[in-house]
Amino acid sequence: MNLLIDICHPAHVHLFRNFIKIMKSRNHNVYIAVKDIPAAKELLRTYGIRYIDYGQKSHSIIGKTLRQFKYDNSIRKIVNELEIDLGIGTSITIAHASKISSMKSFVFDDDDASVEPLFSKFTHPFADYLISPDVLKHERTKPNHIVYPGFHELAYLHPNRFTPDARVLDSLGLEKGEKFFILRFNAFKAHHDIGIKGLNMDQKRSLVDTLTKFGRVFITTEDRIDKEFVKYQLKSKPEDIFSLLFYARLFVGDSQTMTNEAAVLGTPSLRLNSFVGRISYLEQQEKKYKLAFGFKPNEFNLLLYKIVGLLSNPKLKDEWQEKRKVMLADKIDETAFLVDLIDKYPGSIKDIKNNAEYFEKFK
């Protein structure tokens, strides 16, 4: 088959990179399309994945709307030229292109409709298949909606796909077992981020001051790092971040994706932003598996109190690894599921609908 994957965010490179490698090994033709997103293109190059750049990304609602017509037309041309059979991505463009071409679309969406209303409204009705974690089954009820027991992050951080490498500690001058913390500061530029608050500058300063009393602090940012935090800037290879998250004593930030990456790796994960209480998969991590903690912008003091409390526990990492085992027992290797879904299409769709035990083989 001829497959097209549309990359709309750096995290989607990780979501699909193992799938890309496996499908190519099975003699499928896999093409990658990406907008001009520097971090995403850097990751694609890091993993040796060739791509087609099809346009500059906009951060404003008006800009996104105007450019969407251009994106749709660009992908339609790629689909027709390469005779694409299936389009895959967390992508409004893939969904639209499937309605003006012979390509079938598989849209992966792990966000609640209330969190991304525009994406849901202008993507879901056009997708041939909508694929989501089963924590969203309450709102994904149509026949073409497929829900599975997992998280996007388990496509690349499931133990079948990822083994932490302790050598990354050497590159930062860290000893194994030394306390260090990863902080992530978000830019909040996506359309669904309008009106959303994360950590402000005073809170960031207080957070750094608190954590440096317990160990070393490393900061990664979505945008340019503030001058006063440059000395804490994480300088490592992009592919090393997951091993660092695994060995970190805590992750703290205002990012959704990195919060869950840390959680599925068994690292205590704390976030502060306006999305807290609204994102189902993170609510599950917090309420069911107790791997993460969420705080609203006016609860910063509670965040600091929780951090100090966690760091007083000498068995913290061991306890979180036990919680991780409980979570993993319920979830699947998402890459294995994705390969089966696409490689065996359309038979896989019937299997999912008719076989209640379908997902057990991916655990």
Question: pLDDT tens digit string along 230-284?
Answer: 999 999 888 899 999 999 999 999 989 999 999 999 999 999 999 999 999 999 9
Question: What phi and psi values does residue 308 have, to the nearest 5 degrees?
Answer: -60, -40
Are 320 and 206 found together in one domain? Answer: yes
Average pLDDT of the segment spanning 39-68: 83
Minimal CA–CA distance to 103: which of 67, 68, 127? Answer: 127
Are 51 and 190 found together in one domain? Answer: no
Contacts of 148 by beta carbon, 8 Å cutoff, 6+ apart? 131, 132, 133, 134, 332, 334, 337, 359
Give the pLDDT of residue 67: 80
**Rounded CA gap, 256 and 92, in Å?**
20
Are 324 and 185 found together in one domain? Answer: yes
Count of structural domains within the chain: 2
| Residue 175 pLDDT greater than 80, yes or no | yes
Are 318 and 176 found together in one domain? Answer: yes
Helices (H) and strands (E) in the chain, counts: 15, 12
Angle at alpha carbon of residue 76, lines to 74 and 78, rounded to 5°: 70
Give the pLDDT of residue 192: 42
Angle at alpha carbon of residue 135, lines to 129 and 141, rounded to 5°: 45
Are 358 and 212 found together in one domain? Answer: no
Are 111 and 172 found together in one domain? Answer: no
Are 312 and 258 found together in one domain? Answer: yes
Are 154 and 208 found together in one domain? Answer: no
243: which DSSP letter? H
pTM assigned to the model = 0.93
Are 137 and 226 found together in one domain? Answer: no
Give the pLDDT of residue 194: 46
Are 237 and 352 found together in one domain? Answer: no
Q: Which two tokens stand for residue 48?
A: 């040796």
Question: Per-residue pLDDT tens for 279-307?
Answer: 999 999 999 999 999 999 999 999 999 99
Instruction: Convert 191-207 to b/e letters by CB count within 10 Å (16 or more is b).
Output: bbbeeeebbeeebbebb
Which structural domain, as residue segments, surrounds residue 322? 167-330
Are 37 and 96 found together in one domain? Answer: yes
Are 81 and 100 found together in one domain? Answer: yes
The CATH number assigned to the domain holding 184 equals: 3.40.50.2000
